């Protein structure tokens, strides 16, 4: 992980956070707190909260790593990609399980 940090940097950089335009479709308005929205097209949700509540019913979001990742990925894929088939591992493809950096 330390390889991604430049320890020789002067440290003189800035960062301006911007809110996703999807917030314009909710009651969480970034403009109310003075935040700027990201440039680009307005992002519109594929489904409402009721849909996501139904398809994730029984999932434990109380803490990190309590939701089965394979099942959650399939729920997200179906909700965002519709009828497109879920990607399958190709023969001989590395799943990353053996990687230990």
Q: pLDDT truncated to tens, each residue of the chain (101 aa)? A: 777 787 888 878 888 888 888 888 888 767 777 888 899 998 899 999 899 999 999 999 999 899 999 999 999 999 999 899 999 877 766 665 554 44
Residue whose pair of structure tokens reads 């430049």 in the numeric block: 6
Residue 75 has what DSSP assignment?
H
Residue whose pair of structure tokens reads 């398809």 in the numeric block: 55
**DSSP bridge partners of 19:** 37
CA nearest 35: which of 22, 17, 21, 62? 17
Q: Specify the pTM.
A: 0.60
Q: Is 75 exposed, middle or buried (0-12, 13-18, 19+ CB in 10 A)?
A: middle
Rounded CA separation 88/69 (Å): 15
């Amino acid at each position: 992980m330390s390889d991604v940090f430049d320890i020789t940097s002067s440290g003189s950089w800035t960062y301006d956070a911007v809110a996703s335009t999807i917030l314009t479709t909710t009651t969480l308005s970034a403009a109310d707190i003075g935040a700027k929205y990201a440039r680009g097209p307005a992002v519109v949700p594929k489904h409402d909260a009721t849909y996501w509540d139904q398809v994730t019913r029984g999932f434990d979001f109380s803490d990190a790593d309590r939701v089965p990742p394979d099942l959650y990925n399939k729920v997200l894929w179906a909700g965002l990609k519709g009828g497109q088939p879920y990607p399958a591992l190709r023969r001989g493809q590395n799943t990353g399980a053996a990687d230990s950096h």
